[in-house]
Structure 1
Amino acid sequence: MTATSSSALAAPFVDGLARHELRFQRCTACGTAQTLARYACAHCGSDALAWETARGTATLHAVTVVSRAPSDAFRALAPYTLVIAQLDEGPRLMAHADPGVRIGDRVAAGFFAHDGHTLVRFSPATG
């Protein structure tokens, strides 16, 4: 897959972020949801994929604090919290999060601009 085709494949996800929507693919053949844009379902291999918009609520499955950024683009954010969050719709997503979150916390997606991109940041869910 070339960078161009990869960019086109992920465009619904990236465009959704710009509109402050968290999008994912769902296989219409088997119902599996996936956050990494693919040409085929990771579960059954079908190419019958549709884009959906998540509610934006999730449960945290992993949390880490990045003290040393892997690139210049993220150096100004360090230290920052990265999480693996399982969306209520099923798929998992790596994203930023508010400091102090813990595994098992219920969170809600928010969005922030950084380096010309819109990124996801999870915060503790209220209510």
Structure 2
Amino acid sequence: MSVIRPMVGRDTADFWAGVQAHELRVPQCNACGTRRFPPGPACRSCEALDQGHVVASGRGTVFSYVVHRHPPVPGKELPIVIALVDLEEGVRMVGEVVDVADDEIAIGMPLRVDFRDVDDELTLPVWRKDESR
């Protein structure tokens, strides 16, 4: 069974290229320095179109989460833990938390990004409990 592949477009191509290289890229405005996620065509603060990125540390904490129990998702085993992660870089990102039981996940839990190479063309970011903090 195959996994659902993300839609890659003009605004998200740099993010997904980073993931393929095992980097977590956070979009940053080259004009005013505002960071944001998800990627978009223009800065929400100053409306500049000159967008770059910073490579994130890959560390964050659980801001909120859900446990997906139904319906089935192609390529995934249920339950799936999905968290809204507060990154050290000041943005929030949604992602799958792996190797954490659905009754163990908690708001404030420290996480670190990891990268799952699905095949030669697809790498996905996943989050794991950060035991070092």
**TM-score when normalising by structure 1:** 0.82
User: Could you list the per-position Cα deviations for residues 29-86 of structure 1 after superposition, in whole angstroms to 9, with x for gaps in the alignment?
Assistant: 3322112221101233222321211010011101111112464x34x33211000001
Please identify which structure carries the higher strand content.
Answer: 1
Structure 2 segments unaligned to the other structure (5+ residues): 1-7
Pick one of 99, 107, 111 that aligns with 2:111.
107
Q: How many Å separate the matches in 1 of 2:21 and 2:116?
A: 11
Identity score, percent: 26
Secondary structure of the residue aligned to 1:42 is coil
Pick one of 12, 21, 34 that aligns with 1:10.
12
Give the count of matched residue pairs. Answer: 120
Please identify which structure carries the higher helix content.
Answer: 1
Distance change in 2, residues 1:118/1:77 (3 Å): farther
Deviation beyond 4 Å, 4+ runs, structure 1: none
**TM-score when normalising by structure 2:** 0.78
Secondary structure of the residue aligned to 1:13 is helix
CA RMSD after TM alignment? 2.0
Secondary structure of the residue aligned to 1:14 is helix
